[in-house]
Structure 1
Amino acid sequence: MADHHAPNLPASSEGAVGGVDGTRERVVAAAMDEFARYGIAGARVDRIAKQARTSKERVYAHFRGKEALYAQTAARELGVIAQATHIDARDLPGYAGRLFDYFTSRPDHYRLISWGRLELTEGDGTSQDAIAGKVEQLRQAQRDGALDPTWDPFDVLALVNQIATTWSAQPEIAAAASEHSDDRSVAARRAAVVRAVERLFPAAAPRP
């Protein structure tokens, strides 16, 4: 399909100057909605261009293709998530609660990240750098005695992330719980997430 490859335009890097008129920002904002809704394969650059009030040619002038546009959009979102949830290796239950809050209030953002995991065969450097930084924080907490050193820090990160996003990842269970659970509140779901992480990785005592 035409959307998979850029037309024969002069080469331009993703960081190309030319967004002074706000086009690049509008394209990324429109791309976030499009990718969250349709995934990478189902997204259409012509729809993105229309929502961004520009042309497909201008989109391709800023981005090499659809996957490059997704990578930029997802990288930006991962940066926003990191800032909003900020991991604290000494308080992983608190971190899990913040992740739960973020994705519960922004299900489209969770879908955006999930599409990349499903459709891309290789991870991007931005997410790998973010993971490495979090793992190093966990290792430091282990060295400081604030986190059980018998755990592999990659296992810790994977388990905490999985528990924190379990309701976002399983909307069918969330829908059933909203109708049939003894306590149908979002607060109850959050408390379960925090309690589960606390059982595995208790928060360390505050620093003196």
Structure 2
Amino acid sequence: MADSTRADSTRDRIVTAARAEFARYGIAGARITRIAKAAKTSSERLYAYFRSKEELYRFVAEQELAAVLEATRLDPTDLPEYAGRVHDYFLRHPDRFRFISWGRLELAGAAADPVTRETFRRKAEQLRKAQEAGHLDPAWDPVDILVFVSQLATAWAGQLDLVDAAADQVRDPSPAARRAAVVTAVQRLFPATAGDAGDGAGS
């Protein structure tokens, strides 16, 4: 039992260190030696858990995806507020947005992992059912809805440098105003309905 506990503790430290390393340097720039040092272990020990840097990134990415899904919860009947939750989450966790962005950039063209594919499929199916129930305009392709809402929701998370740069140019520089702009933009594209929020809602 003690050996198992120590092993779990070592892996947890590796994952925590890897999350910070990848968020700061990306996959190509990350160094196994730095991750091992931050995790208070050796590179050899790290490779006993993860065969490569890419495998380690994908493992951490699955955990990050689960955390995002749990914190934001897609509700197909209220996409504006869903976008607001995603916006809030990544402004609170800019390191996690950087982590995910590095993966999208550096793994572009690579086959999506099974967890990501299943998550995307499940969300598209939720939107499709919402369309069938009359909650969303059926003229939209569910995949387009997902992409457009995601891009609007993370627009400011991906351009934090502009928040300060544009402070004297916007009518209201407050974070609340930026959130309201995201929610309003999604509302105009995909208006919230008065239907039962439980229809198809979930992660």
TM-score normalised per structure 2 = 0.90
Matched, 1:166 2:155: yes
What's 1:147 paired with?
A: 136
RMSD, aligned CA? 1.5
Q: CA contact under 8 A between 1:19 and 1:25: conserved in structure 2? A: no
What's 2:69 paired with?
A: 82
**In the TM superposition, what is the alpha-carbon distance from 1:177 to its structure 2 partner?**
2.5
What's 1:13 paired with?
A: none
> Residue 167 of structure 2: SS of its match in structure 1?
helix
Select which of 93, 101, 104 maps to 1:114. 101
> Residue 156 of structure 2: SS of its match in structure 1?
helix
> Residue 138 of structure 2: SS of its match in structure 1?
coil
Q: CA contact under 8 A between 2:135 and 2:195: conserved in structure 1? A: no
What's 2:200 paired with?
A: none
Q: Give runs of aligned pairs for residues 60-71 of structure 1, distance below 5 A.
A: 60-71=47-58
**In the TM superposition, what is the alpha-carbon distance from 1:18 to its structure 2 partner?**
7.9
Question: What are the ranges of 5 or more consecutive residues in structure 1 without an aligned counterpart?
Answer: 1-16
Task: Write the distance in 1 (CA, Å) between the matches of 2:18 and 2:41.
Answer: 12
Task: Write the distance in 1 (CA, Å) between the matches of 2:147 and 2:6.
Answer: 37
The one-letter code sitting in structure 2 at the alignment partner of 1:31 is A
> Residue 183 of structure 1: SS of its match in structure 2?
coil
**Farther-moved stretch of structure 1 (174-183 vs 92-101):** 174-183
Task: Write the distance in 2 (CA, Å) between the matches of 1:197 and 1:84.
Answer: 19
> Residue 137 of structure 2: SS of its match in structure 1?
coil
Task: Write the distance in 2 (CA, Å) between the matches of 1:25 and 1:70.
Answer: 14
Alignment deviations for residues 91-144 of structure 1 (CA, whole Å, 9 cap, x no partner): 100100000000011111000000011111312221111111110100010011
What's 1:53 paired with?
A: 40
The one-letter code sitting in structure 1 at the alignment partner of 2:26 is G
Q: Percent identity?
A: 55
Change (3 A) 1:18 1:63: farther
Question: What are the ranges of 5 or more consecutive residues in structure 2 without an aligned counterpart?
Answer: 198-203
Task: Write the distance in 2 (CA, Å) between the matches of 1:30 and 1:156.
Answer: 35
**In the TM superposition, what is the alpha-carbon distance from 1:179 to its structure 2 partner?**
4.1
What's 2:23 paired with?
A: 36
The one-letter code sitting in structure 2 at the alignment partner of 1:188 is A
What's 1:27 paired with?
A: 14
Task: Write the distance in 1 (CA, Å) between the matches of 2:138 and 2:6.
Answer: 47
TM-score normalised per structure 1 = 0.88
Task: Give the 4+ runs in structure 1 shifted more than 6 A.
Answer: none
Alignment deviations for residues 62-103 of structure 1 (CA, whole Å, 9 cap, x no partner): 001000000001110000000000000011001000000000
Alignment deviations for residues 30-68 of structure 1 (CA, whole Å, 9 cap, x no partner): 100000000000000111111111111111000010000
Q: CA contact under 8 A between 2:77 and 2:196: conserved in structure 1? A: no
The one-letter code sitting in structure 1 at the alignment partner of 2:171 is D
**In the TM superposition, what is the alpha-carbon distance from 1:180 to its structure 2 partner?**
3.2
What's 1:125 paired with?
A: 114
**Farther-moved stretch of structure 1 (21-30 vs 57-66):** 21-30
